[in-house]
Structure 1
Amino acid sequence: MKFTDGYWLMRPGCTARYAAEVGDVRAEDHRMTLYAPVKHVSRRGQTLNSPLLTVECWSPAEGVIGVRTTHHAGSARRGPEFALPGAGENAGKVRRDGAVLELVSGELTLRVDTEQPWRLEFTAGGRVLTSAGERGTGFVTDGEGRHYMLGQLSLGVGELVYGLGERFTPLVKNGQSVDIWQADGGTNSEQAYKNVPFHLTNRGYGVFVNHPGRVSYEVGSESVGQVQFSVEDQSLEYFVVHGPTPKEIVARYTALTGRPALPPAWALGLWLTTSFTTEYDEATVNRFIDGMAERGIPLSVFHFDCFWMREYQWSDFMWDAETFPDPEGMLARLKQQGLRISAWINPYIAQKSHLFDEGMREGYLVRRADGSVWQWDLWQAGMALVDFTNPAARDWYTGKLRILLAQGVDCFKTDFGERIPTDVVWHDGSDPERMHNYYTHLYNQAVFGLLREERGEGEALLFARSATAGGQQYPVHWGGDCESHFGAMAESLRGGLSLGLSGFGFWSHDIGGFEGTPTPTVFKRWVQFGLLSSHSRLHGSKSYRVPWDYGEEAVEVTREFTLLKHRLAPYLHRAAQQAHATGVPVMRAMVLEFPDDPTAAVLDRQYMLGDDLLVAPVFSEDGTVEYYVPDGTWTNLLTGVQVTGPRWVREQHGFHTLPLLARPDSVIPFAAEDQNPVSAWADGAELRVHAFADGAERTLVIPRAEGPGEAARFHLRRDGDRLRITTDSPHPWQLRLGGPDGTLHTRPAGTPAADLPYPD
């Protein structure tokens, strides 16, 4: 929200008051409280008839400093609040040197000079990261009596801002106005399904605004040298999160707000859905599944979208008996083919559903102030909303899902959760404005918790559309409703990279696009992109996404890249383990891996898949692709062609290749099995070694496909013209030098070491 009219004036009706200086200090061992008048006070009389801001500073975790600014402290504090599982109380230390106060946490320091005009200065490594200066701490009132708290943190020259959730606008957020407010706006608007009040910059820090309601950002868009964030409230709390690298920033932020659960390895395979409003029954489902098998395309998950339930009754969690007369038998037959089952759900209860009367009678539905159930006709006729702030309502809702799990469903697509009303009363007394964004967190938390309880740790999995801060704990998330053309494919990628920079480890999208029907060219290119994402799902709206609908070559491309993903499963699952342990996403914006490369800072049409693979999807009809190669010699995993950077490359690719480059000095494990994402990955594994420099060494871990732990560990080192390998693997293994046609060396089971020639 903009409050100023240029630099000098305020907008009509707006009055601003900013902290001017430190009037008094209360310093303790681990925190300090600053009392800031909004004008310079030189005599006692000036303390009258003027606001005093209370600014509390503390550290909840090493390398993180919190700042809470309050105007009037007596306002009612209604929930919800973000859960901060990684927050403590005394991670910082206060020290004082004359007029200078410092709060130190790890390498991060908050410095305040009490004899100078107001300035909160955050430093690390001997340099200033950011600061809140003369307009950096304050409040604004407008002509309608609304009261906003605001913060402004400085941007340095060349400083770039990322994050704020899954946003489909440009990856670099400088110059953008962003409202953290859940909306069902598709992928071609400035609205977002996943709004996260966290941003990070390329200068070594991030900022998390700890407010679950609407947070309004002006990212160099009102005061061009500042990131401003404001909330309609009497208090504003934010945390400055030090890195210094982007990966370390994300790791610290997710340690504070929650790390992603580890999805099961079977979810890495290809998902196929019925699509959204298409006609289907068990015969249609079998035709799809049999058609994939006949064409040699392995499926891992089959998903039933909306119309597995009866029309006008979403959600009642009852199979449409006319279309599916024997759901238990059908699911058993599908599972006999090795498939997992996903079912679409949402948190809305249509009036025609038998659950509506039950929920209204028991008080499980959100109500208006007059006690009536909140309803509207948008989406489902007369639909109401489950009140997840009521524990009994949560148990009632998950109890219906428990029946589906007993029938054979393995996971749920938790759709919707964005259009949450603010003219309602919540069971626990939550503030409706704060609950608008937070509702999705309670929704996904309830469903994920049920799956964890029923299926066990490591087997719980969602396919969720909406989320906010902390929602990364309940993977996987997908990118929402996109069109079916190259522009939508590119905007989807921007959204996924932005979400990854906001702490979400896993992300997917509708292969082929959702709205409309893709051309065969778009479909084939989207298949490549989709099967080189953390999770891969074929899905559409009014048209099917079975590959033979798009030509024989589409079948070949789908087969080839599905088999490739299966062989890459040990590599991808290792990247998933990293996301689980550190919060660093599987699909990474280039700035995460190459923070010191100025070109990498702005790239949004390519990404790193895990540590060592660069993917540049093709977004053109003729197969032309431009991408940037960082420093070193990179090897195309599909063709063996080497490209040396740093430089831009322009290539043309047929539908069976794309820029998929292995990093210099990398070792990529390939599973021997290509028909299933879950196999004994270490048994017969092929290690592909790429552009190993003399003296380079890498340790490669092959994880277990099922359960925690390692299946094998390899250590590789190049000494001159020799490559030395040691391993604890009891299985046979292979090593290939270079691309897919490079020299292959095979070693029998139990071979603990090898010493091989390594030609330049």
Structure 2
Amino acid sequence: MIQLADNEKKGYCQHTVEDPLKLKEGYCHFNQTGQKDFLNKMIAYEPGCSKITFELQTFRKKQAEVVVEFISQTAFRFRMYPEAGKTYCENSVLPKTDTIPMTIKEEEEEITASTERLMLRFQKCPWQMSVYLDGEELTKEQIKDQDVGQKYKSVPTGFSVDENGRVTDTFETMYMYSDEAFYGFGEKFTDFNKRGQKICVWQRDAQSTNSDISYKGMPYFVSTQGYSILVNTFTRTHFNMGASSGVSYTMETEDPYLDYYLFANRNMKGLLADYTEASGRSPMIPRWAFGFWMSKMSYLNRAEVEEIAEKMNEFGMSADVIHIDAWMDMFGNASELLSFDEKRFPKPEEMIAELRKKGFHLSLWMFPYVQTKITVDGTQRVSRQYLSMKERGFLVKRTDGEPYIFSPGEGDAAGWGVAALDFTNPEFVLYMKERVKRLMKMGVGVIKTDFSEEVPEDAVFWDGSTGKEAHNKYTLLYARTIYEASAEAKKELGESALLWGRSGYSGSQNYPANWAGDSSAAKNNLAAVLNGGLSMGMSGVSFWGFDIGGFYNCDYEGRRCIPSDDEYIRSVQMGLMSPLSRSHGQSTPREPWVFSRETQKTFLKINKLRYRLLPYLYSTAYETHYKGLPMMRAMVLEFQEDWNARNLSRQYMLGESLLVAPVFDQEIVKVYLPKGSWTDFYTGERLEGGKWITAEKRLDQIPLYLRENHMIPMLQEAPMHIENRNFEKLVVILNLQEELETHYYDDGVCGKLFTKIVNETLIIESAKMKIELFEVYSEKEIHNCVVNKNAWKLEKTEHGFRATRG
């Protein structure tokens, strides 16, 4: 360690009395209950090739340590240990990462650590870290958030201790710029811009999708300043994003140390790319997953499942997945997990094969618990599965070594007593993987991983961790186990894998996909659901959907009932313009044929449109896989420089080309079109951007708009089911004003398209795209069309041109 000379500034870092809290002038003091302490001044530092360590004195004269490492030219890891020299057991989301060299320089009042693009300035006294990107200030710690009595409203970076002096939590306090906005934090259903909110990342069975409680909170967020932060822990975290003070925000974790990563990039897409490069990019999911999924709670036997499959084909709807919740033998004699109830589903392998012949893949429900007691023929007895899992040591325990029995959901009316399966036990993980692989090899397409958010804090896991440390991690371990088993089995079959997960955490993008949990059928609830989807996208997760039709709906007296036609169709419209599309309901049906004839026609219209859009959706999915960008994109992500886009959360971009404006309960549907020329997707009518427009409120369509100098590849006709082969006979819709150069992705294909208008001739160069027709919208006059140096026939339409092979 290099010891620093005494360079304290009189009246700020120099304490003249034994108890600094007695100072009334020249030094800020506390206005909070509890015993807090914070970093005050640098005592020494130790430079290294890729790490710098600081020895610091705290306000209360204790000795702390800060360690900083660069993991790339534009990202670093910050760790604070309140007790220097102590060994800490870390609970990292991103464990040890590669580091790069840094340049360290000491000056009179500060020390700097730099890469070619990023510079960190560490003020010696008072301690303050400032971050600079390409020579310009990006962000900094807040050390001056005081009130008129010189008391701190937000205590600088530090920690809290209990009455015994034990560190109970640590926190980082950051300067909040006057125009700074924040996005992400996982699937949060509150306002999309999280400035002014308090956020707790502690997974819970939310039992709705319209409050600050959520199934998939994540300690990761993006700032409009040009940086994002991952608090690197599974333990409960708290974020106060300017709710208590308008000039600072705090990140607090219930760990005895602080660990976070900061990624710097002025471009928001670049931030997500940098973050997912470090935390993982989504594997590609099966082609059929982008079709329509039909479900309710639940189809109860094989005959009902086969009847639904027949009805969907007879109705003429395009669909690819049937889901069953109640398929397992949970109340009979099965002692093994994930076993079909063959009384209700005889010859399940034969059933699955027959469904595949009809064009349907099977999705099956599971949860990560076992019931302790079951009722058979009116008699209650101990569950054989519970006894089997207990005997093998596969259950999460209490401190006395017995299985921990609890309720699986908050306010659970059924009063279930369950024990949690222990995904930290490698022997159990192997057992569970074999059970999942068995199902995959039977032909099952996907497992729906329900629940997992309610493991108690005082539980004890096989690996020694407590429920406090592993509560959030449990949701990720659950998903990882089921996804990895599915992927291993599907690889042998030459197929891709996915799951359908309710819970998750930072890193969930590695185990796709997710849905939004138990949503209401109410139209205004759709807006809250959309907040969750957009926030998931800003948290690095792309493959997401929600329960189309609403999972729950009831009348005034609390009786479960189907949603109204209007509620159903508005949900269908947004759901079929989401990355993934599953209809699901609690007890009551969500099949379109139970609604009015007008609603049935409207359903089929949007259903067929989604299937025609499959090439665009699949290509966008590959962009997620390659670049880490979400399919459902907040307007601010695509139009970062447009300040009007910062708080837009009632519309979104599906991929980079298509603007989607769902209709909820608005009397007047207002849509903001960013600067540029847009076309109405249905008519081709040209609309000038940079302003709000009023969209026509129609029950039979959702407002859609095509972006300037972008394309949408489509199918000429909607298939009934998705075949496992590359898309052909494409119709490409172009909104062309200047020129367009873009990519198109399919399995094993990286296609390219370049278009421009020269002397009234539309010139198109395409590679690896099997195109039959171009629909072109442009303000420029076009008289000829040449595709790959061949003349195509050009026909004038009401708002554009149609080009076909000559």
| TM-score normalised by L of structure 2 | 0.86
**Counterpart of 1:170?**
191
**Counterpart of 2:740?**
697
**Counterpart of 1:221?**
243
**Counterpart of 1:108?**
118
Distance 1:119 1:315, change over 3 A: farther
Q: 2:99 aligns with which of 67, 79, 89?
A: 89
Counterpart of 2:661 in structure 1: which amino acid?
A: A
Q: Are 2:234 and 2:469, in contact at CA under 8 Å, matched by a contact in 1?
A: yes
**Counterpart Cα distance in 2 of 1:757 and 1:122:** 57
Q: Are 1:672 and 1:683, in contact at CA under 8 Å, matched by a contact in 2?
A: no
Distance 1:166 1:249, change over 3 A: same
1:646 aligns with 2:656: no
Residues 534-571 of structure 1, C-alpha deviations (whole Å, 9 max, x = no match): 00001011211100112122222222222212221111
Residues 608-639 of structure 1, C-alpha deviations (whole Å, 9 max, x = no match): 100111001001276x4212110111112123
**Counterpart of 2:56?**
36
Counterpart of 1:725 in structure 2: which amino acid?
A: I
Matches within 5 A, 1:318-717: 318-351=339-372, 352=374, 353-378=383-408, 381-456=416-491, 459-516=496-553, 517-620=562-665, 624-675=668-719, 676-678=721-723, 683-690=728-735, 692-694=736-738, 696-701=739-744, 703-704=745-746, 707-710=747-750, 712-717=751-756
Give the deviation of 1:99 after TM superposition: 4.6
Distance 1:143 1:189, change over 3 A: farther
Higher Cα Rg: structure 1 or 2?
A: 2
Matches within 5 A, 1:103-252: 103-114=113-124, 116-134=125-143, 135-142=155-162, 147-185=168-206, 186-252=208-274
Q: Are 1:571 and 1:669, in contact at CA under 8 Å, matched by a contact in 2?
A: yes
Higher mean C-alpha deviation, range 563-572 or range 88-97 = 88-97
**Counterpart Cα distance in 2 of 1:34 and 1:466:** 38
**Counterpart Cα distance in 1 of 2:495 and 2:28:** 56
**Counterpart of 1:738?**
777
**Counterpart Cα distance in 1 of 2:61 and 2:82:** 11
1:69 aligns with 2:80: yes
Distance 1:617 1:32, change over 3 A: same
**Counterpart Cα distance in 2 of 1:753 and 1:89:** 55
Aligned-pair Cα RMSD in Å: 2.7
Q: 2:323 aligns with which of 303, 321, 325?
A: 303
**Counterpart Cα distance in 2 of 1:314 and 1:159:** 55
SS at match of 1:444: helix
1:59 aligns with 2:70: yes
**Counterpart Cα distance in 2 of 1:728 and 1:13:** 66
Distance 1:753 1:471, change over 3 A: farther
Q: Are 1:84 and 1:256, in contact at CA under 8 Å, matched by a contact in 2?
A: no
Distance 1:228 1:32, change over 3 A: same
Q: Are 1:103 and 1:111, in contact at CA under 8 Å, matched by a contact in 2?
A: yes
Any unmatched runs of 5+ in structure 1?
1-6, 40-48
Give the deviation of 1:340 after TM superposition: 0.9
Distance 1:627 1:50, change over 3 A: same
Q: Are 1:724 and 1:754, in contact at CA under 8 Å, matched by a contact in 2?
A: no
Residues 207-234 of structure 1, C-alpha deviations (whole Å, 9 max, x = no match): 1111111011111122321220112222
Give the deviation of 1:8 after TM superposition: 7.4
Counterpart of 2:400 in structure 1: which amino acid?
A: D
Higher mean C-alpha deviation, range 89-98 or range 18-27 = 89-98
SS at match of 1:599: helix
Counterpart of 1:660 in structure 2: which amino acid?
A: L
**Counterpart Cα distance in 1 of 2:510 and 2:302:** 34
Higher mean C-alpha deviation, range 476-485 or range 548-557 = 548-557
Give the deviation of 1:91 after TM superposition: 5.3
Distance 1:376 1:490, change over 3 A: same
Give the deviation of 1:717 after TM superposition: 1.9
Count of residues in correspondence between the two structures: 731
Q: Are 1:315 and 1:350, in contact at CA under 8 Å, matched by a contact in 2?
A: no
Give the deviation of 1:157 after TM superposition: 1.0
Distance 1:92 1:627, change over 3 A: farther
**Counterpart Cα distance in 1 of 2:634 and 2:522:** 22
Residues 217-263 of structure 1, C-alpha deviations (whole Å, 9 max, x = no match): 11112232122011222210111111111111111111111111111
**Counterpart Cα distance in 2 of 1:753 and 1:57:** 61
**Counterpart Cα distance in 1 of 2:471 and 2:344:** 36
Distance 1:731 1:60, change over 3 A: closer
SS at match of 2:484: helix
Q: Are 2:754 and 2:765, in contact at CA under 8 Å, matched by a contact in 1?
A: yes
Q: Are 2:760 and 2:784, in contact at CA under 8 Å, matched by a contact in 1?
A: no
Q: Are 1:465 and 1:480, in contact at CA under 8 Å, matched by a contact in 2?
A: yes
Residues 675-706 of structure 1, C-alpha deviations (whole Å, 9 max, x = no match): 1444765532111111x224x222342x33xx
Distance 1:124 1:730, change over 3 A: closer
Give the deviation of 1:15 after TM superposition: 2.2
**Counterpart Cα distance in 1 of 2:279 and 2:123:** 31
Distance 1:102 1:709, change over 3 A: farther
Q: Are 1:119 and 1:132, in contact at CA under 8 Å, matched by a contact in 2?
A: yes
Distance 1:106 1:478, change over 3 A: farther
Give the deviation of 1:464 after TM superposition: 0.3
**Percent of paired sites with the same residue:** 29
Give the deviation of 1:651 after TM superposition: 2.2
Counterpart of 2:57 in structure 1: which amino acid?
A: P
SS at match of 1:112: strand
Q: Are 1:567 and 1:677, in contact at CA under 8 Å, matched by a contact in 2?
A: no
Q: Are 1:282 and 1:330, in contact at CA under 8 Å, matched by a contact in 2?
A: yes
**Counterpart of 2:412?**
none
**Counterpart Cα distance in 2 of 1:679 and 1:270:** 15
SS at match of 1:650: strand
Q: Are 1:440 and 1:467, in contact at CA under 8 Å, matched by a contact in 2?
A: yes
Q: Are 1:305 and 1:343, in contact at CA under 8 Å, matched by a contact in 2?
A: yes
Residues 485-542 of structure 1, C-alpha deviations (whole Å, 9 max, x = no match): 1121111110110111111021100001111132100111111111111000010112
Counterpart of 2:386 in structure 1: which amino acid?
A: F
Distance 1:415 1:121, change over 3 A: same
Counterpart of 1:333 in structure 2: which amino acid?
A: E
Counterpart of 2:357 in structure 1: which amino acid?
A: Q
| TM-score normalised by L of structure 1 | 0.91
Counterpart of 2:713 in structure 1: which amino acid?
A: P
Give the deviation of 1:438 after TM superposition: 0.3
Give the deviation of 1:424 after TM superposition: 1.8
Q: Are 2:318 and 2:611, in contact at CA under 8 Å, matched by a contact in 1?
A: no
Give the deviation of 1:716 after TM superposition: 1.2
Residues 332-354 of structure 1, C-alpha deviations (whole Å, 9 max, x = no match): 21111011111001111112443
Counterpart of 2:577 in structure 1: which amino acid?
A: L
